[in-house]
Chain A
Amino acid sequence: MDKSQIIINNLNFKYNEQIVLDNINLQISQIDYLVITGKNGSGKSTLIKCLLGLNKIDNQIITIDGVSINKLDKKGIFGYVAQESKLLLDIPITAVEYLKLYKSDIKKIKEVLKTINAKYLENKQLNDMSGGERQRIFIAKSLLNNIKFLILDEPIKGLDKAMRKSFHDLTNTLHKNGVGIIIISHNLEELDMHITKVYDLEERKLSEFNRTNCKYC
């Protein structure tokens, strides 16, 4: 199967008349394991929202395989795992109940949980899980649709060494199985070695890390 390609072509984005993203150009392939780094407030989240089609942009700015992002059903393309701190979970809800909100096909849910070695979590409450376990369930949520790219926002924040290893094993497996990985992180030190590209978003502009100096590439 052909690998999908995202092309971002001269993306400018303003929020309240302030330029947040300035002339961003980027190509992401499904074979990439890519990291976008940058300080807080550098526009990383805005870039992701543009990519997910949640910020309004002109038709030809972001395309996937030549088709405008605005015209695509994003559900079958992107999986997104938000920062842990942004999740509101005030009620007791098990992993299966949670996943059923997004897809009622219980067979598919069990299949995905098995794939990511999280079958033991199916009847556990999300509130009783460790950060790493919960993250696994959020990744499972993305995998319920046959996505092409998985976007993770600050995925290793708050994870201990063992949980980070488990996270890297999982994303590497998904990457090998053909899912393009896009990680947003300001902590490059704790990311693993399978990364194919690293971009830095600074002062509203995106630049690729120099390969000769980049120990991650």
Chain B
Amino acid sequence: MNLIEQIANIVSYDFMQNALISGVFLSVVLAVVGLHLVTHRLTFIADTLGHINMGGVALTYLLAPVIALSLFSSLLIIMTWSILGGVLIEYLRSKYKDNKEVAILIVYAMAIALTMIFLNLSTSANTGFLNLLFGNINAISNQEVIVVVVFSIVILIVMQLINKKLFIIAFDQEVSELYGVKYTFYRYLFIILVTITTTLAIKILGVLLVSSMMIIPNLSAINLSKNLKQTKYFAIILTEISMIFGIFMAYFLNLSASAVIVIVAIVIYGLTVVYKSKFS
């Protein structure tokens, strides 16, 4: 069998189709949301949000024997949990004038501690927990694909509507209201969108690597670009390349997809650093 036949064969599997469809949609969202994470200098918040998601999942394990949870109600619990965590970080950050990073540490510690307690108390089987840490593309159901596609479209529409305002609050943090943009409102809205993106993406990328795929392709795009428009498109293209190439390579090499996706993104980043130092 040649490579094309092999690829055609792999793509015929349901789980692979689900992984690819989810991956393609998520890549656009990760790139678009990630660009604003870079301009807002929120890269570590994104990582913490990934970990907070874990607590939400542990909570569903805890609740599972008590109430019947559908995919949607589980997702709702995880998202609500994570959004509360995200909002709490932003609230605590606003209370510190200079050393804002301590807010992240407090919420991060709380999220991890509560995750462990939920797991201790949980009587339901939680063998999927390792998948949560590193992602598992084999486990994406048809229903989950629909959820990912619908939410991705909604997030992209909202991001398009608030795109300029997010740049303004990043560039003119202290005086954005002079331009008619309410800093607090848009900042919280953005944190909520980042949180939802993280929740959607952990199935593929896992808690530990989800934030890296929002940031690394954007850093590569910045190295290649001469303006904002190019940065945006390069980031989307590079996230898609890392995602699709990573999913296929992981299958051929029998490795964890999230790890291969991130390694591909890092290799691309390394190449862009070389490109930048040679040509610009």
| Interface residues of A, Cβ cutoff 8 Å to B | 49, 52-54, 73-75, 78, 80, 82, 86-94, 97-98, 101-102, 123, 125
A177 to chain B, nearest CB (A): 21
> Interface residues of B: mostly helix, strand, loop or mixed?
helix
How many chain B residues touch A (CB < 8 A): the figure is: 25
Taking CB atoms and an 8 Å cut-off, the chain B residues in 158-212 that contact chain A are 164, 167-168, 170-175, 177-180
Within 8 Å by CB of A92, from B172, B173, B225, lies B225
Min C-beta distance of B244 to chain A, whole Å: 25
Q: Which 4 residue pairs of A and B lie closest in terms of their CB atoms, listed nearest first? A: A93-B228, A97-B228, A94-B227, A101-B164
Chain B, residue nearest A45 (CB): B174
A54 partner, pick from B167, B178, B222, B228, beta carbons under 8 A: B178
A90 with B38: CB separation less than 8 A:
yes
**A82-B172, A101-B167 given; A91·B177 CB < 8 A:** no
Are A52's CB and B178's CB within 8 A?
yes
CA distance A54 to B180 in the complex (A): 11
Instruction: Establish whether residues B227 and A88, one from each chain, have CB atoms under 8 Å apart when the complex forms.
Output: no
For B171, give its contact among A49, A52, A89, A123 (CB under 8 Å): A89
Interface positions of B (Cβ within 8 A of A):
35, 38-39, 41, 164, 167-168, 170-175, 177-180, 222, 225-231
Q: With a CB–CB cut-off of 8 A, which chain B residues contact A93?
A: 227-228
Which B residues are in CB contact (< 8 Å) with A52? 175, 178
Docked complex Cα distance between A92 and B167 (Å): 13
* Cβ-closest chain A residue relative to B167: A101
- Whether A125 touches B227, Cβ cut-off 8 Å, given contacts A74-B178, A90-B41, is yes
- Which residue, of A52, A80, A93, A94, has the highest number of chain B Cβ atoms within 10 A? A93
A74 CA / B174 CA spacing, docked (Å): 15
23 A-B contact pairs sorted by A residue (CB < 8 Å): A53-B177, A54-B175, A74-B178, A75-B178, A75-B179, A82-B172, A88-B39, A88-B170, A88-B173, A90-B41, A91-B39, A91-B222, A91-B231, A92-B225, A92-B226, A93-B228, A94-B227, A94-B228, A97-B227, A101-B164, A101-B167, A102-B179, A125-B226
Beta-carbon nearest neighbor of A79 in chain B:
B178
Q: Which residues of B contact A78 (CB under 8 A)?
A: 178
Bound-state CA distance A93–B177 (Å) is 22
Given contacts A80-B178, A92-B228, A125-B226, 8 further A-B contacts (CB under 8 A): A74-B178, A82-B174, A89-B171, A90-B38, A91-B228, A92-B226, A93-B228, A97-B227
Bound-state Cα–Cα, A80 to B171, Å: 13
Chain A, residue nearest B226 (CB): A92
Question: Whole-angstrom distance from the CB of A98 to the nearest CB of chain B?
Answer: 8
Chain A residue numbers with a CB within 8 Å of B227 are 92-94, 97, 123, 125
